[in-house]
Structure 1
Amino acid sequence: MLSFINSIVLPLLAAAIIPLLIYLFRRGKTKRISFSSLRFLKSLENQRIRHLRIYQILLLIIRILFVIFVVLAFARPAIKIINIAGDSGAATTAVIIIDDSYSMTSYAGAKTYFDISLEAAREILSSFTEKDYVYILSSESGFRVQSFPVQRNLNLPVKPVYGLLNLSEQLEKACEVFRKNPNLNRELYFITDNRINQHALIDSLPVYLHTRNVVKYVVKIAADHPTNNLSIDTAIIATSLYEINRPVTFEIQLTNYNLESSASARLNLFESNKRMAMTDLLIESGSTGSVKLTYVPRKSGQQLIHFELEDDDLSADNYYYLNFRIPEVLKVLYTDQPEGGLLKTAVQILSRQTVLDIDMTSYASWQGRQFQNYDLIVLNDPPVFQNQTVNRISEYLRQGKNLIIIPGENITPAQLNQAVHSWTGERPTGELIHTKAVDQYFTLDKDFQHSNLFDPAFVQKDKAIELPQVYKYFKMINPKDNYLYLTNGDPLLSCFRDKTQKGSLYIFGTQFKPAWTDFPFKGFYMPMLYRLFYSAGYSTENLSIYKAGNRARIPVANSSSSAQVEIIPPQGQPYPVDLLSSRSHVFVSMDIPGHYIINADGKMADAFSVNLNSAEMRTPYIDLDEYFLNAKIVKSEMLKGDSLRKARTGQELWFIFVLLALIMLLLEIWLVKLIEKRSEDT
């Protein structure tokens, strides 16, 4: 039985009458010519005239058939397969995969592409009956539709997700459905906006879909990119150290996905939903740009930052979230010789006037302290390290904590190197350098005041400062980073990473004693110590930022194992977490972008931020026509349930009608030439 998938074009068959009308219209217009005599017509053969008339009628029939065959080819006729068992309507197993990635939330007029995809799914469902097995797949769910006939307003429990579509995984699930429900007819529908990033595919189309006679449909609900989409791809903190009342600068990267025109918009910076800064920007068509925004935090604690663009066709990627913490207090263990000195006095002042909570002790009792309770350990003029001490400090550095050593006369370079080698694998301390005369000295390189560590300490950048003099120091060998240099090129303050690359060891090459340096008598002395202790005690390297659609193991900081901990997602109700079973970590499903708050005993203990994975919008997209080889590509507006039902289990014949139309065209050309030749002969 013949049916048509695209029956909407069948009314155009009426156009077949046009050649007949033209023939009749032209035949009625005869031109009368006066002859002086009819004797010249006697030689005209009546048989040739009859032949010409027959050719003209054949030409008319060929033209009518050409129009009919062209219309039928566009109607996509299909002939149904006869069921040997006598059942004219064999059961069908169908899988409908709905692209639920966040690009589907783009607006097309008053509706989103996802709304249109659900309408297309309902249209497909209307072509099935109760004897069919129909399964709907999305990233978060899979379910069988069991109630038929399907109502046009059926509520499908599918919603957009903010992670990347894993098309390979969905296709494998579809194959599993076909294996478990082996009906005679098998149909696969993939409804998409045609923006599938290459990361959505791991493998080629499963072999099962090639070898098991599965009829594949790709339903396209969008032909191109959003006409107006400016997105925030990522944001980083350009400031190396976060402090109250000091500016923090962010660098934000944006992409304009409009390939035809540039995009202008206003970018806003919010802290705890309060706008703190904004800027206007212009990004050229199809290009990526960056912009910087700065704000000054006025309080310590967790800083919940998000950036926001004005609305466009795709609002999901107009936001980016990040957070960082400005410590209320940093706990420092400062250990010194009993007699102390100028450094000990300065440390006491820092403990009273800054966020540094400094526990001062001596080498006779410091081993009794619990190292893990401190953010930083400072060892001034340490003695030779015992094996137990070396092991405890090694464990401390593996926790991501930092250590400052200011070597003096109680330890030799060789003895210090032996301990440091256990921590870092390096032997960084060289010989002790002395000036050759009482009136000679070394000075700091003046460029140090422009370094990331010490630059904020100088309000007037170009004002000359009195540089400290150094009379003796330990020479450093192959440090990872240097923060202070002498004018002879030797580093004075150096940093080394531990073997696990988690903690850092800072070594200051000179003692803060008059016989070593006049540092304690310079105005830069106290700001330098504060900046060094603060930066070493507070690590800003690991920001808690994750991608939506994942499940991750999140550490819960600043809380004890007995605390009552709960997670507050961006949307939804808080839920409790048992730290005793999770060992100070929790597993969190990060379904939507935003800030996730971790409360311990009713107070914010930590937070982490979740953002969209911008990889989905990056080109090149998958060529679905090439990937789904031999699939039927259907636009959503042309999708009709009745047509699908009629064409089910049928063989399409459109190519036959295209061939017949070409034959008619060739016959027409041949007949026209034949008629012209006969006319000339007569």
Structure 2
Amino acid sequence: SKQLAKELINNFKSGDEIAVIPIVADPNFQTNPSSDFSLVQKLIEEIQTSSTRKTLNEALITAGKILYESKNFNKEIYLLTDLQSGSLYNQESELSKISELLKDSKLFYIDLNKKSSINLGVDSIKLNTQIFEKNKQINFQASVKNYSDVNGVGSVVSLFINNKRSAQQSITLNSKESKEIYFESTLNDTGLVNASVELEDDDIIPDNKQFISFYVPDKIKVLLLYDNYEDLKFVRLVLNNQVLNNFQVSELSILQLPSHNLQKYDAIVIAANPVDNTIQQIKSFIDNGGGLLVFPTSNGNINSIQNFFERLELPKPDGFVGKQNSIESPAQFEKIDFNHPLFANLFEDRSKTKLDSPEIYYYMKFNPGIRGKNIISMFDKSSFLSEFRAGSGKVIVFNISPVLSWSTFPLKSVFPALLSKSILYLASQNKEEQNIFCGDEVFITRPTSNQLKVIYPNEVVELINVDASQNQSYIRFANTGLIGTYRFYSGNKLIDYISVNHDPRESTTEYYSVSELENYLENIGWEENIIVLEDGQ
């Protein structure tokens, strides 16, 4: 297409003005008309293939504005495109009559679609593991589609983790067929982990990769908050066991919390009744992606707990059931959701998934409702263990205080496993629940300093000054023209990251016809016939 565009220049006369408008999103590209043909040829040569989608409609509006302001008698638009499906416009609401901008202009169309392309594309990648532990298995799922009209197209699909090939499979797809590919690998790294699924090269290369990123702390920083130090005695024994866990544990009385920065922790375990100002601290911690594990205090005050839960936007507990230290008619588990991530890899033999219920003498009657997940339920249908999403973080609620006057739970073999898994689950961060395509604007955590450092997928570093007068907790970032992982730093501290992927609409090997192009032009008010030029005319 570049060669055709440069050959067209030979047909123009000295003094003619030419503007080059690439149908890719490049905010730095110079579209001003010029009569310097060598400069125009240089601009054409500098056009780069981009993963950022721009529509023909946007390009024609730009062309119309240039022609409207031009004083030249002859006004011509030369459209060089393959008319790939989806390239005319994004949605009909974008279309408007621009006939006044294009008045007295001629439109020439040169078809660049010369052959049927062979194209497989990776449409998505998903991390199926929700608890990250070094040297443990992680599972990925990718969707691959044959976009071409040819049957039996094969390729090798590879999983890369931090640029190292971790697994691969061969795949063969018929025309328009999609397949889900599953990979299993061992997590060997901590910190920010970048994973990608990649295909062998074909006719359309940009869609042969999809990226995903997740963060694995080297040491999981856990804060214990208590009213009564003895309430967390058994929790303390488990979390400080370096043979079982890789936790860095700190402790505070709830009264010490107001002067403490919570953002340095990955998870908080609380057995306390916080007051209003400390509740807001905890809520901000969760909203910003932190994890909270809640136990009632041993001397549980239902009014304090209800206030705490209401401020966290959780359902209110109904009250307490039973009697402390009473072994008469203890309550037990009824149903366990073994499909929850807390139970992944907890049993060596998945066919023998069974948990012995502790004897529960006294408990908080709590129903997670539609806002939460009931992971372990009691015989009265209330919840022993439940989970909630709050802001960008997670909350796990136990209905008992971890003391022996309430239950035998701290003595059960499942107690250390379930407690450790809960902390790992709360601390594990996988942000890729939304698809981010090239050119999309995203919200990034605001740096604590007035400068944001961005490291792009090609390792280029940019420093962006942040307006100190703005008090939002995020900033807008739109320079997402490359596929891959973007890292954001405040000083030398990683504060955010995103994975940007190609728009699947660019993978299609289907194309509009000339009549469909004419219908589009009619919708925007073009009243003249288009002139179709064959290659070489």
After TM superposition, the score normalised by the length of structure 2 is 0.85
Q: 2:449 aligns with which of 561, 580, 583?
A: 561
User: Are 2:197 and 1:299 aligned?
Assistant: no
| Alignment partners' CA distance in 1, 2:134 and 2:169 | 23
User: Are 2:17 and 1:136 aligned?
Assistant: no
Structure 1 match to 2:127: 237
Structure 2 match to 1:493: 385
CA RMSD of aligned residues (A): 3.3
Q: CA deviation at 1:340?
A: 4.1
CA contact (8 A) 1:332 1:376 kept: yes
| Alignment partners' CA distance in 1, 2:84 and 2:328 | 74
Q: CA deviation at 1:365?
A: 3.2
1:29-428 equivalence runs, <5 A: 117-138=1-22, 139=24, 140=26, 141=29, 142-147=31-36, 156-197=45-86, 199-200=89-90, 202-203=94-95, 206-208=98-100, 212-222=103-113, 225-226=116-117, 228-336=118-226, 337-340=228-231, 342-350=233-241, 354-380=245-271, 382-383=272-273, 385-424=274-313, 426-428=315-317
CA contact (8 A) 1:126 1:149 kept: no
Distance 1:458 1:598, change over 3 A: same
CA contact (8 A) 2:373 2:386 kept: yes
User: Are 2:518 and 1:628 aligned?
Assistant: no
Q: In structure 1, give the amino acid aligned to 2:199.
A: L
| Alignment partners' CA distance in 1, 2:531 and 2:132 | 54
Distance 1:124 1:302, change over 3 A: same
Structure 2 match to 1:13: none
| Alignment partners' CA distance in 2, 1:280 and 1:372 | 44
| Larger-Rg structure | 1
Task: Report the 3-state secondary structure (helix = DSSP H, G, I; strand = E; otherwise coil) of the residue aligned with 2:284.
Answer: helix
Task: Report the 3-state secondary structure (helix = DSSP H, G, I; strand = E; otherwise coil) of the residue aligned with 1:415.
Answer: helix
Q: In structure 2, give the amino acid aligned to 1:507.
A: V
Q: CA deviation at 1:538?
A: 3.4
Distance 1:147 1:504, change over 3 A: closer
Q: CA deviation at 1:633?
A: 4.7
Structure 2 match to 1:574: 461
Q: 1:456 aligns with which of 324, 328, 345?
A: 345
State which drifts further: 122-131 or 568-577: 568-577
Distance 1:225 1:487, change over 3 A: farther
Q: CA deviation at 1:542?
A: 5.0
Offset from partner CA, 1:479-500 (integer Å, 9 cap, x none): 41122223553310123444xx
Report the number of matched residues: 514
CA contact (8 A) 1:194 1:223 kept: no
Offset from partner CA, 1:80-104 (integer Å, 9 cap, x none): xxxxxxxxxxxxxxxxxxxxxxxxx
CA contact (8 A) 1:333 1:374 kept: yes
Task: Report the 3-state secondary structure (helix = DSSP H, G, I; strand = E; otherwise coil) of the residue aligned with 2:8.
Answer: helix
| Alignment partners' CA distance in 1, 2:111 and 2:6 | 15
| Alignment partners' CA distance in 2, 1:303 and 1:150 | 44
Task: Report the 3-state secondary structure (helix = DSSP H, G, I; strand = E; otherwise coil) of the residue aligned with 2:202.
Answer: coil
Task: Report the 3-state secondary structure (helix = DSSP H, G, I; strand = E; otherwise coil) of the residue aligned with 1:627.
Answer: helix
Q: CA deviation at 1:205?
A: 6.0
| Alignment partners' CA distance in 2, 1:298 and 1:207 | 60
Distance 1:124 1:204, change over 3 A: farther
Offset from partner CA, 1:453-474 (integer Å, 9 cap, x none): 1222222223455442222211
Task: Report the 3-state secondary structure (helix = DSSP H, G, I; strand = E; otherwise coil) of the residue aligned with 2:309.
Answer: helix
| Alignment partners' CA distance in 1, 2:325 and 2:229 | 31
| Alignment partners' CA distance in 2, 1:290 and 1:474 | 43
Distance 1:165 1:295, change over 3 A: same
| Alignment partners' CA distance in 2, 1:341 and 1:602 | 35
1:471-510 equivalence runs, <5 A: 471-479=361-369, 480-498=372-390, 501-510=391-400
Structure 2 match to 1:672: none
Distance 1:542 1:320, change over 3 A: closer
| Alignment partners' CA distance in 1, 2:457 and 2:126 | 21
CA contact (8 A) 1:553 1:585 kept: yes
State which drifts further: 473-482 or 250-259: 473-482
Q: CA deviation at 1:218?
A: 1.4
CA contact (8 A) 2:120 2:146 kept: yes
Task: Report the 3-state secondary structure (helix = DSSP H, G, I; strand = E; otherwise coil) of the residue aligned with 2:64.
Answer: helix
| Alignment partners' CA distance in 2, 1:573 and 1:341 | 47
Structure 1 match to 2:525: none
Higher relative helix content: 1
| Alignment partners' CA distance in 1, 2:306 and 2:38 | 81
| Alignment partners' CA distance in 2, 1:516 and 1:276 | 47
| Alignment partners' CA distance in 2, 1:344 and 1:425 | 23
CA contact (8 A) 2:213 2:431 kept: no
Identity of aligned residues (%): 21
| Alignment partners' CA distance in 2, 1:566 and 1:311 | 33
Distance 1:368 1:159, change over 3 A: closer
Q: In structure 2, give the amino acid aligned to 1:133.
A: E
Unpaired runs of at least 5, structure 1: 1-116, 641-682
Structure 2 match to 1:38: none
Distance 1:588 1:279, change over 3 A: same
Q: CA deviation at 1:357?
A: 1.6
Q: CA deviation at 1:147?
A: 3.1
Q: In structure 2, give the amino acid aligned to 1:531.
A: K
| Alignment partners' CA distance in 2, 1:474 and 1:118 | 71
Task: Report the 3-state secondary structure (helix = DSSP H, G, I; strand = E; otherwise coil) of the residue aligned with 1:596.
Answer: strand
| Alignment partners' CA distance in 2, 1:237 and 1:315 | 23
Distance 1:439 1:261, change over 3 A: same
Structure 2 match to 1:595: 485
CA contact (8 A) 2:137 2:186 kept: yes
State which drifts further: 355-364 or 526-535: 355-364
